[in-house]
Amino acid sequence: MKLIEDIAWTTNYLIEQLHYFLETFEDEQKIRKYEKQANDLIYRIPLYCPVPTYVIYKRDLPERLNKEMERYGLKERHELLKTAVARIFENVNEKYFVQSVNRLLKVELRE
């Protein structure tokens, strides 16, 4: 019998877990790091040239999230991250995000 920890996550479940983790992740000062980054960037992305990138640090992610994302190619991984991050931006201002930011959003996973 396989343990739940051994079963690969579905794509949708991975996106949900990424979104939840990024939305609630707190740094050493108890600041929600990735939520704050979305708040800081949402009104800048349509105005700045070059467009600012939303950065996620691999070291911040739990081992399981990193392991699950490794199952996907680079392009698919980028789409997973972008979808999860889009949900954070939608929580800030859904209408503005959909109308002005979504098409411009760039997400980068750094070491």
More confident residue, 52 or 3: 52
More confident residue, 21 or 7: 21
Distance, CA of 47 to CA of 77 (rounded, Å): 27
Contacts of 53 (CB under 8 A, 6+ apart): 106, 107, 108
Q: Are strands 107-110 and 54-57 parallel, antiparallel or unpaired?
A: parallel
Biggest alpha carbon–alpha carbon distance for the chain:
54
Q: How far is CA 73 from CA 9, 20, 69, 78, 98, in A?
A: 15, 22, 8, 9, 26
pTM, to two decimals: 0.89
Residue 6 has pLDDT above 80, yes or no: no
Q: What is the pLDDT of residue 22?
A: 97
pLDDT digits (tens, 9 = 90+) for 44-80: 999 999 999 999 999 999 999 999 999 999 999 999 9
H or E element at residue 11 = helix 11-24
Mean pLDDT of the chain: 94
Residue 1 has pLDDT above 50, yes or no: no
Show me where the domains of the chain are located.
8-110
pLDDT digits (tens, 9 = 90+) for 78-105: 999 999 999 999 999 999 999 999 999 9
Average pLDDT over residues 20-49: 97
Distance, CA of 64 to CA of 24 (rounded, Å): 16
Distance, CA of 90 to CA of 79 (rounded, Å): 16
Q: What is the pLDDT of residue 7?
A: 79
CATH superfamily of 8-110: mini-chromosome maintenance (MCM) complex, chain A, domain 1 (3.30.1640.10)
